Homo-oligomer: A and B are copies of this chain.
């Protein structure tokens, strides 16, 4: 069997139980290089580090496997790993397993999925895995057979160019998971509330909180699949064009000459 070169990253940080599980699985498929943030970086979206230097520290290297912690964001990790360590030779990027859902609109805030999108932009097949349980002691054995199956599918068949996968796993015992559904991202948003407080110096500050609002109950969405006990698989890409709206805007075009 071919030994694939696999990069593993996440946004919960290199010590999170979710990435430890993903590393353990990935080692069955090839030589694993881990480059992950040195601390939790949830909610970092596609942020990159431009104004301060980046640090990269090798923690471990043995039998083809290596681990590095990085001072930057998940996107920094992918960029640094590809350029400074793997030199463009990654066969697959795996990100996660995230503690908590990255389905629907959560993808845009997620560092875990930003790493997947960054790899896709660079033309490297990539999969992000998330378990619908925020707890540090979540059971990442739930869904393992589906994680393995999806990795095997991608290694065997590849992915369309510049497309990655956003895989979410319902937090139920593995034998109750109904299977895999290929779906689109549900339309949703976070209805924020800001908790206004005063610090000991009588200065106001806010904490961000919010409630997830699903606007889209159709049965071809990731939210539907997860609610009904399926692992959701959404093909994702970094094209923000609202293609269906191009026609509406065409009348605003102008030509000075």
Contact = CB atoms under 8 A, between A and B. Distances in A.
A51 B113 CA distance: 19
Given A83-B194, A208-B54, A255-B178, A185 B76 contact: no
Interface in A204-248: 204-208, 233-246, 248
Interface string A161-198: 01101100000000001111111110101001110110
A167 to B, nearest CB: 11
Contact of A240 (B43, B76, B117, B249): B117
A153 B248 CA distance: 12
Given A45-B44, A117-B240, A240-B166, A249 B182 contact: yes
A84 B209 CA distance: 12
Interface residues of A, number: 87
B53 A206 contact: yes
A105 interface: yes
Contact of A109 (B48, B248, B255): B48
Nearest to A160: B245
Number of chain copies forming the complex? 2
Contacts of A233: 249, 252
Contacts of A189: 121-123
Nearest to A153: B252
A256 interface: yes
A134 to B, nearest CB: 12
A250 interface: yes
A150 B249 CA distance: 10
Given A45-B46, A56-B204, A206-B54, A180 B253 contact: yes
Q: Which of A43, A45, A178 has the most CB of B within 10 A?
A: A45
Given A84-B194, A84-B196, A206-B84, A184 B243 contact: yes
A86 interface: no
Contacts of A243: 184
A135 interface: no
B192 A252 contact: no
Contacts of A123: 189
Interface of A: 40, 42-51, 53-56, 75-76, 79-80, 82-84, 105, 107-109, 113-114, 117, 121-123, 149-150, 153, 159-160, 162-163, 165-166, 177-185, 187, 189, 192-194, 196-197, 199, 203-208, 233-246, 248-250, 252-257
